[in-house]
Each structure stands twice: as C-alpha cells, then as structure tokens.
Amino acid sequence: MPPKEVPPKEVPPKEVPPKEVPPKEALPKEALPKETLPNRQVVRVMAKNEDSLPPATVAGAATEQEESGPAVVNDVAEYKVMVPFAMGKTLLGKDGEKAMGEIAQIGPIAKEIRIRAPVDPGGNLQRAYGRAAEIHRMLIKAGLGRHPITIEAVDAVPDRNVVRAEVALIVDLKAKPGQ
C-alpha cells in the first residue's frame, strides 16, 4: 500500500508594515529651521510623481539600512507648516507671521508650494480664498513667486477660535542647492 499523502499546510504570507521615516531624516539638515516652531510638521516622503500613495509603499522606492536605523531614500519630501488665522479674519496675526517666516526660510529649496485654506464653519468660501491670497501675498513678498503655487479651499474644523491654513512645501531631495 502506497504511503498516504498529506496535503501541505497553507501558511498565510506575513504582512510587513511600511517603515516610517523619522521627520528630521526627511529633509536635508540645511533645510531645517534653526529654531523649532510648533507649526512645523514633515508629513511624508514620496517618490517623484507619486504623491497619492502613502509613504514607503511607492513602487521602486529604494531603502538603505544605516547603523543608526532605517532611512528611506526618495525623490521628494513634503514639509507642512500650519498658518493660524483668527476666526472670521483673512489677515495674518503674530503667530501667522511667525509661521510665514518659517516658510520663507525653507521656501527657497522648495520646487512647489501648495496652500490649503480653510473655510469657516459657516462655509464662507470667499474668506478661505482671502486667507490663501494673504499667504500668497506673503510668499511673493518673501521672494518665493517663482515657485508653482496651488491654492485649494477646504472644509476644516476650527480649533478654539483659530483657523489654520496648511502650506506644503514640496522639496526635491535629489536637487543640488541653487537649482
């Protein structure tokens, strides 16, 4: 009698979670501001032309292991700064001007700037575009007018009578300084 065949066990494949990039490794050291402001947030590193995919899931993204830990090498980093406005206002206050100063410091190395201006709870679209226009005016004043700038009005939940616009600086990590 031939030996009885035992079917092989099916083992489900292990899912490996994507590795997160520490925020300070996402931008070159010379790109980081000297003082740390609460409005700064490095959001993600992404491959060129793949901004709709989550971090570290981009096809073809190269990874390297360093002694200090994992690092992801990609083409582009997105650096977000929250710019606060008072509820019902379109002009920047002191905190907003401080955030714009940070943007002006990082801006020269950005290849693109995206502004997401919040609509007040009442849905006032004109006020959202007024906030975006104020940010745009400050960017031009800071000498960042040569960058492609995208403006978008979005619904946002206010945080204690403060509405925050989001300015994302898209930085090309492979570009040499001055390009």
Alpha carbons 118 and 124: distance in angstroms, whole number: 9
In angstroms and rounded to an integer, the radius of gyration of the C-alpha atoms of the chain is 22
Full-model pTM: 0.56
Find where tokens 């379109």 sit.
90
Please count the other Cβ atoms lying within 10 Å of the Cβ belonging to residue 53: 13
Domains of the chain and any CATH numbers: 35-172 (3.30.1330.60)
Q: What is the pLDDT of residues 41-74, one digit of tens each?
A: 444 444 444 444 333 333 333 334 334 333 334 6
Cβ atoms of 121 and 128 within 8 Å: the answer is no
Element (H, E) at 170: strand 162-172
Most confident listed range (56-70, 126-140, 143-157): 126-140
